[in-house]
Structures are given as C-alpha cells and as structure tokens.
Amino acid sequence: MTLRIRCQQCSVRSCAPCSALTAATADQLARIVHRRRIPAGQILYGGPDRAKTFSIIVEGVVKLVNVQPDGSNQIVGLQFPSEFVGRPFVEGAPLVAEAATDLEVCAFSGSAFETLMQTHADLERTIFKRTLDDLDFARQWMSMIARKTAEERVASLLMLIASKFRDKARDGRQAVAGLEFNLPLSRTEIAECLGLRLETVSRQFAALKAEGIITTGRRRGLKVADMAALGERAQGLVHA
C-alpha cells in the first residue's frame, strides 16, 4: 500500500512502463521494487560477473556502451528518465549500461522481474513495445551517424538532449527564453556517441557558439538560445 502511494507520486509515473500496466500487475511490481540512488560511472548491467538487474530511470541518464576489442568505446544508446534499462533473456549481454550521471532508479532483481514477466502478459507486452521503439530509434540513429556531417551530428544530439529537458520543464516559458541545463555527457562521451573525435566535437561547439545558437557555461552547462536554428543544423532530425 505504501508502495502504491509512492508510485502515485512518482515524477515519471505518467510515461514510465508501469503506467501501462493493469492495477494488479503494478501492485506485484511495486512489491519487488527497490528505489536506489546510483552514482555516475556505476554499471547497471553487462560487464564481468554482475548479477542481472532491470531498472526504470527516475532521474539521470544511462549510456549503453559497446566496448571494442581495441579498447575504444562506442556509445550506442542513451536512456532517459521513465525509460526501461535491461536485457531480458540473456546472461552475457553484449554491451554495458553505465550511469552517465548520478541516477535515481527503480531497480528490480533479474529473476523476480523475469518471473513476473512470465506470469503477467501485460508486463511483457509493455517491455516488448519499448524494445520495438528502442529498435526503431537505434536504426534512426544509425542513419544519422552513417550519413551526416560533424555539425549535423552534434546538433542532432544536442536537440535530442534538449528536447528531453524541455519535456521535463513543461511551462512554455523556457521555449522562448532559451533552454538551460547541464549536459549529461562529457566531450569524450559525445564523441563516442557520434562516431567523432573529441576535438571535432569541441570545434562544432565553437562553431555553434560563434553563430549564437548555443552558449556554454562553466562545467557542463549549456544554454540553447535558438532551438529552431539548432534543429535546422540537425537536418533530418531524429525525433525521440
């Protein structure tokens, strides 16, 4: 009961997978959930000898990293608040999910969650649909990386991140004044997302600043002054 109440106050309640469930399934899920705070850099799944877990992100960003044999990293996906993180049905996942920022998550043990999926078809269906969306998105992102210039890639990623922050702060005020937030990724990580070098990313930031489209603050602060212009630079934009 207390758990249900906590869920109803949850900031991602409206769009998280749990909102698509029947009351009965949501109750069952609430019984096995553990709310956790996770520091940036910690691994959620993948990598050596790590117990399988599933999570729903409440706050923060998770990066899905493909560690190459030559030691370089490729980021193949980002997960934002309300999204599901986990890889059902396999033990050795081919990639690593790592907290890009400090996180707040609803965590579920692998066995408990998978058991629940077996018995509650609506839960499985919900995760299935999310997976299909992830697949569509991954393919869109792939075309982006395959075809676009450095400027378009950087603009696309900033648009993606900015749109997530805009969704969170729903009062249209921000849209006019310009959107301000801290980037969840370092320059290196941005480069790893886009298939670029960090120097190239830095130069594209400089170019966007010179055009007055963005402003960088201290640390990872970023202000998008002209979202429309940024969208133009992104060309065929990947809409999340």
SS3 track for the chain: CHHHHHHHCCCCCCCCHHHHCCHHHHHHHHHHCEEEEECCCCEEECCCCCCCEEEEEEECCEEEEEECCCCCEEEEEEECCCCEECCCCCCCCCCEEEECCCEEEEEEEHHHHHHHHHHCHHHHHHHHHHHHHHHHHHHHHHHHHHHCCHHHHHHHHHHHHHHHHHHHCCCCHHHHHCEEEECCCCHHHHHHHHCCCHHHHHHHHHHHHHCCCEEECCCCEEEECCHHHHHHHCCCCCCC
Q: Is 200 in the site for DNA (CB under 7 A)?
A: yes
Binder of residue 48, out of a copy of itself, DNA, none (CB less than 5 to 8 A by kind) = none
Contact between 118 and DNA per CB under 7 A? no
Taking CB within 5 to 8 Å according to partner kind, which of a copy of itself, DNA, none is near residue 142? a copy of itself
Instruction: Name the residues that contact a copy of itself, by CB under 8 A.
Output: 64, 66, 68-70, 72, 74, 76-77, 87-90, 94-95, 121, 124-125, 127-129, 131-132, 134-136, 138-143, 145-147, 194-195, 235-236
Interaction between residue 187 and DNA (CB under 7 A): yes
Site for DNA in 121-160 (CB under 7 A): 149-151
Quote the least distance from Cβ 192 to a copy of itself, whole Å.
9
Minimum CB distance to a copy of itself, residue 36 (Å): 24
Least distance in Å: CB of 21 to a copy of itself? 16
Q: Does 195 bind DNA (CB under 7 A)?
A: yes
Residues in contact with DNA by the rule CB under 7 A:
149-151, 186-188, 195-203, 205-206, 216, 218-220
